[in-house]
Amino acid sequence: MQEKKIVNIPSLISDYYTLAPDIENKNHQVAFGTSGHRGSSALHSFNEAHIMAIAQAVYEHRTAEKIPGPLYIGADTHALSEPALRTCVEVLAANGVELILQENFAPVPTPVVSRAILAHNRSGKKTADGMVITPSHNPPTDGGIKYDPPSGGPASPEITSKIQNRANELIKSGIESIKRVPFEKAIKLDNVHFEDFVIPYVKALASVVDMEAIAKSGLHIGADPLGGSGIYYWKPIAEIYGIKNLEVVNPNLDPTFSFMPPDHDGKIRMDCSSPYAMANLIKLKDSYDIAFGNDTDYDRHGIVTPQGLMNPNAYLAVAVQHLFTSRKNWRPDAMVGKTVVSSSIIDRVTAGIGKKLCEVPVGFKWFVDGLLDGSMGFGGEESAGASFLCRDGSVWTTDKDGIIMDLLACEITAVTGKNPAEHYKEITEKYGTSFYARIDTPATPEQKAKLGKLSPDDIKADTLAGDKITAKFTKAPGNNASIGGLKVTTENGWFAARPSGTENICKLYAESFVSPEHLKKIQEEAQKIIA
């Protein structure tokens, strides 16, 4: 284990204002991935120029799309988030956009912005959209920013490409042309408003989770915010719903995140699915009936029971089984949504409860429409992100919500008398034990491009790890959208390979329902197949 390095915050923020991107350098350009633009000020990839240009591009997009209402904006607790928030306010306010910000510039979770947009737009007022400033669970050196259209969820590739390209054009032509006003003046303009996002969100939680059952259960609950944006939500949740034994394990905010144990490679990451990052809470597992941590913008969850940290796929399977057997007011045909690289244990649970599975490419944006119209009861990703419908079958959020996934674990434990890990043990006894892993292998840009263009006909193999291949596909079965790679399945396992959008690596996901040795064989043969 490498020794973790503590980030120099004054230097990081100074770099935000004093360093500028070289637009001819691809590494310095605005690049929207599946979760917006991310970078670091020290690396010339997340600086004032980037944020000015992105804010201006968002203004131009919403003008072209005739989005007349307010723009909700929130930021997490990364050190670069507040400077970026201030820059956005300066540009958007100068352009006359009606902005709605959290009082006192307190941190705001991603799902809270999604929920606020949807609640506003259901009220019949002028259509709203939003922005969230966060690099998710990335190290303290990083910054990130993403745009939420009126649907409240992640923007489509068409929208993000448009914003990305326009932002880079603006940087190239010179950001001096971008309209802005000084921050102190901007926040006093008539089009800039401050509201409390916390209490409306907290009061609405009873519409999506059985908060009464949680309160009556007397469960001893541990919440570790990991220094993230939901840190001020747990006290009002406990107070409003009368939950007596909810303890915030670490109530401190620190932009260096130096309280975090280093991840597997020595870097600090607020990755609530990592046993390394969650080591502090795992040590306390016997102190609580149920405990959980979240990443910095609170769109992911990590569930800890007395048995330890749950694998993300395992908890998704438990959540699916509980939700679709307890939510009697959901549409009978409401589907289970999962990404193509999520565990097939979810497929088996879905079939076992007689529901339809909708398998989509990686990215939460593929769940937005289904959650909006109620045709999808649940959408979940292998990376510990999920959301689900309100108890009456209406939309809750169209982005991942770590808070409701935390509280669902409490609900499951309260109403069934068994924690999610105990339920998963029963699931494996019924449907088989999953052996699942992801490995990253080096790949040249040429190899990545080739992988992204594979067709099922390119795969000549008939068997995988001794089993007959049952399917080969490059488009997701649920919506026929490209998965950006290839998936091959058998009765006892599968693999999926896709190139990384940001690094020169190929991501290889694989799963076996036979043994760890069988999983290894799948991985070895998969690497030969895609070579």
> What is the DSSP code string of 428-470?
HHHH---EEEEEEEE--HHHHHHHHT--GGG---SEETTEEEE
Model pLDDT, residue 155: 95
3-state DSSP helix/strand/coil percent for the chain, to nearest 5?
40, 20, 40
pLDDT at residue number 500: 77
Q: What are the DSSP calls for 261-309, one per residue?
A: PP-TTS-----TT-TTTTHHHHHTGGG-SEEEEE-TTSS-EEEEETTEE
**Domains, the chain, ranges and CATH?**
9-196 (3.40.120.10), 200-431 (3.40.120.10), 435-530 (3.30.310.50)
468, β-bridge pairs? 463
Give residue for tokens 């949740």.
237
Q: By the 8 A CB rule, do 86 and 101 touch? A: no
Q: Which residues pair with 511 in a beta bridge?
A: 436, 494
Tokens of 358: 């909708």
Tokens of 173: 């032509």
Count of other CB atoms within 10 angstroms of residue 504: 12
Q: Which residue has the tokens 């400033």?
A: 133
pLDDT in the model for residue 440: 87
**pLDDT the model gives residue 3:** 63
Q: How confident is the model at residue 119, as a pLDDT?
A: 97
DSSP characters over 479-525: T--EEEEEEEEESSEEEEEEE-SSSSEEEEEEEESS-HHHHHHHHHH
Token digits of residue 472: 């080969």
Residue at 389: amino acid letter:
L
What pLDDT, on a 0 to 100 scale, did the predictor assign at position 1?
Answer: 46
CA gap 166, 170 in Å, rounded: 6
Predicted confidence at residue 454, as pLDDT, reads: 82
pLDDT value for 378: 98
Residue 344, both tokens: 């097939």
First to last CA, the chain: 31
pLDDT number for residue 4: 66
What is the amino acid identity at position 462? D
| Catalytic pick among 136, 217, 343, 344 | 136
CA distance linking residue 393 with residue 114, whole number of Å: 17
Residue 57, token pair as written in the block = 């591009």
Q: Is residue 506 within 8 Å of 386, Cβ to Cβ?
A: no
Would you say 406 and 301 are in contact if contact means Cβ atoms under 8 Å apart?
A: yes
What does the alpha-carbon distance between residue 14 and residue 232 come to, in Å, rounded to a whole number? 28
Sign of CA dihedral 149, 154, 160, 164: positive
CA atoms within 13 A on the CB side of 144: 23
- Which residues does residue 302 pair with via DSSP β-bridges, in sequence order? 293
- Mutual orientation of helices 402-416 and 110-122 as an angle, nearest 10°? 90
Task: Take residue 172 and report the two structure tokens written for it.
Answer: 């190239």
| Sheet with 357-360, edge to edge strand ranges | 357-360, 335-339, 376-381, 385-388
Q: Which ranges of the chain have pLDDT less than 70?
A: 1-4, 501-503
Task: Give CA–CA dist 126/69, Å, rounded.
Answer: 4
Name which of 130, 301, 303, 311 is nearest 228 in CA terms: 301
- The one-letter amino acid code at 34 reads T
Check if 136 is active-site: yes
Asked whether the beta carbons of 510 and 437 are under 8 A apart, the reply is: yes
Which residue, 320, 312, 52, 342, is CA-closest to 171?
A: 52
Structural tokens at position 353: 């409860």
Token digits of residue 202: 């907290």
Rg (the chain; Cα; Å): 23
Which residues have C-beta within 8 Å of that of residue 181, sequence separation ≥ 6? 90, 93, 94, 189
pLDDT at 2: 53
| Distance (Å, whole) CA 415 – CA 394 | 22
> Closest Cα partner for 321 from 367, 292, 355?
355
